[in-house]
């Protein structure tokens, strides 16, 4: 839960702005800054997760029992274990609310991917070139193209198209394909379908969807 909440909080930063909690009246507003929208569900989930971590040492230390029935250890569990369930339930509920109203910003995602001028896709270009010249040589060629791009202010596509060694083995279409971030989606659709099917199965067993 903390990982999901942390990611959403970071993604909602002004400099990133790829995802944010859905706005609602009375939710997340700032008393000092009218333009601000605080990630209140993410904040609550992270706080609950950290509180849960705080009771784990009590539970672990209670595992060391003296003789048949130790004094103090298992009594400490009476407070620690209910607390752990309470904090966990709170984090889950916060994340449920957060995900249910999550706002996604595809345009900002594309803009962030473009910040490096295609350099983020250098590995993909290397792998496209490797079958023709071998991995070490492909790495050297693409690294040189990246250096040229940085030095000249070009993007990686322009640098690759201007590089005779790249053009000797890859067509412009192949270069474009290698530099397309969408190529990294891989089996994403399969995983999404699997997660949705599992969710629907659970909801159906509860008399929901």
Catalytic residues: 30, 69
Q: Over the range 179-202, which residues count as b (16 or more CB within 10 Å of their CB) and which as e?
A: beeeeeeeeeeeeeeeeeeeeeee
3-class DSSP state for residue 25?
A: coil
Scan for tokens 């009246």, then name that residue: 25
Between the alpha carbon of residue 43 and those of residues 8, 70, 93, 159, 206, the distances in Å are 10, 38, 12, 43, 29
C-alpha 195/C-alpha 30 separation (Å) is: 35
C-alpha 117/C-alpha 106 separation (Å) is: 18
């Amino acid at each position: 839960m903390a990982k999901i909440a942390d990611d959403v909080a970071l993604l909602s930063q002004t400099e990133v702005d790829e995802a944010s909690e859905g706005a609602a009246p009375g939710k997340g507003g700032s008393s000092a800054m009218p333009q601000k929208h605080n990630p209140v569900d993410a904040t609550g989930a992270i706080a609950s997760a950290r509180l849960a971590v705080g009771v784990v040492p009590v539970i672990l230390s209670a595992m060391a029992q003296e003789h048949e029935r130790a004094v103090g250890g298992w009594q400490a569990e009476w407070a620690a274990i209910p607390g752990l369930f309470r904090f966990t339930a709170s984090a889950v509920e916060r994340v449920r609310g957060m995900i249910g109203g999550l706002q996604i910003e595809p345009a900002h995602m594309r803009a962030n991917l473009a910040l490096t001028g295609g350099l983020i896709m250098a590995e993909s270009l290397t792998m496209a070139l490797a079958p023709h010249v071998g991995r070490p040589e492909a790495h050297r060629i693409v690294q040189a193209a990246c250096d040229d791009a940085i030095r000249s202010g070009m993007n990686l596509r322009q640098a690759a198209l201007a590089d005779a060694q790249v053009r000797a083995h890859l067509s412009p279409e192949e270069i474009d394909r290698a530099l397309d971030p969408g190529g990294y989606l891989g089996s994403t659709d399969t995983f999404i379908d699997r997660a949705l099917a599992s969710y629907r199965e659970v909801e159906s067993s509860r008399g929901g969807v």
